[in-house]
Amino acid sequence: MFLKGKSAVVTGSTSGIGLAYARAFAAEGANVVINGFGKPEDIEAERAKIETEFGVKALYSPADMTKPAEIADMIKLAETSFNGPDILVNNAGIQFVSPIEDFPIEKWDQIIAINLSSAFHGIRAAIPGMKARKWGRIISTASAHSLVASPFKSAYVTAKHGIAGLTKTAALELATFGVTVNCISPGYVWTPLVEKQIPDTMKARNMTKEQVMNDVLLEAQPTKEFVTVEQVAALAVFLCGDAAKSITGANISMDGGWTAA
């Protein structure tokens, strides 16, 4: 329970990796602000479950990551409710796949806004409080695509490379204030998002589930195993501990060897 008395804001935490971060921080005693889209009853169920399971306070912020003013409001909510946030995780993200010449301009703008600019707005709003309290942990979910590219993912790869650059810059600016800034770069993580792609790909390519998983999804991942959301969340929890005090400006891969190749 080493995060008791601290609070965390996790963007895009109504499902997948974000929800795992929020639950892992709560398991260590932190109050959390969850955020993201989904059915109101599902979001409320996850929020209430965090409170009953871990005995912490959990709030929901509906902030849309394309809207800087709403992002500032989300940070304000953690400030007024919890005197935080002590931990900010920039995690919300979407994907769109298309050749550059056909890439819809509004999709490019949306991905840059959600996957990259939202992290700038969140960090910008959270810094004064973290500096004043002389403690902070800023973590962003980047991706193997912050280090290498794949065709047809121009906006996503650009945004994730940008996250790596923003991480280094913020780390340098905050180095003497007790605030560390890092990003985690997972390969393929088993989330509902990935699971949902399987039936369509099986149909489109006339493949078995195993073929889709090994030959399509895990083609680039040498371990041939998905990363789990719990593994990603455990790394984030480690980054919040005293043992990780000197880790800042880092882009930590968790990709089953993908970017070693």
Cβ closest to ligand NAD, residue 3 vs residue 189: 189
Check binding of 84 to ligand NAD (CB under 6 A).
no
Does 14 bind ligand NAD (CB under 6 A)? Our answer is yes
In the complex, the smallest distance separating the C-beta of residue 52 from ligand NAD, rounded to whole angstroms, is 21
Return the amino acid letter for 135. Answer: W
* Residue closer to ligand NAD, measured from CB, 15 or 180: 15
Rounded CA-CA distance 227/186 in Å is 7
Minimum CB distance to ligand NAD, residue 90 (Å): 8
Q: Binding marks (x or -) toward ligand NAD, 236..255, rule CB under 6 A?
A: --------------------
Residue with tokens 């409710």: 81
Residue 8 engages ligand NAD in binding (rule: CB under 6 A): no
DSSP 142-184: --GGGTS--TT-HHHHHHHHHHHHHHHHHHHHHTTTTEEEEEE
Q: Which one of 17, 30, 126, 213 is in contact with ligand NAD (CB under 6 A)?
A: 17
**156: annotated active-site residue:** yes
Q: Which of 51, 66, 120, 249 binds ligand NAD (CB under 6 A)?
A: 66
Using CB atoms within 10 Å of the CB of residue 78, give its burial: 0 to 12 exposed, 13 to 18 middle, 19+ buried.
buried
User: Candidates 16-24, 79-87, 196-204, 240-248 — which segment interacts with ligand NAD by CB under 6 A?
Assistant: 16-24
Compute the radius of gyration of the chain from its Cα atoms. 18
List binders of ligand NAD among 132-191 (CB under 6 A). 141, 143, 186, 188-189, 191
Selected from 10, 12, 119, 130, the binder of ligand NAD by CB under 6 A is: 12
CA dist 136 and 118 (Å) reads 18
With residue 17 as reference, give the H or E element that holds it: helix 16-27
Tokens, residue 168: 């280094």
Among 22, 26, 65, 213, binds ligand NAD (CB under 6 A): 65
Q: Taking Cα atoms as reference points, which of 174, 107, 105, 111 lies closest to residue 139?
A: 174
Helix, strand, coil share of the chain (percent; to 5): 55, 15, 35
Q: Does 92 bind ligand NAD (CB under 6 A)?
A: yes
Q: Which of 193, 198, 202, 252 binds ligand NAD (CB under 6 A)?
A: 193
Cα distances (Å, whole numbers) of residue 95 to 37, 159, 241: 15, 10, 31
> Which residues form the interface with ligand NAD (CB under 6 A)?
11-18, 35-38, 64-66, 91-94, 114-115, 141, 143, 186, 188-189, 191-194
Active-site residue set: 156
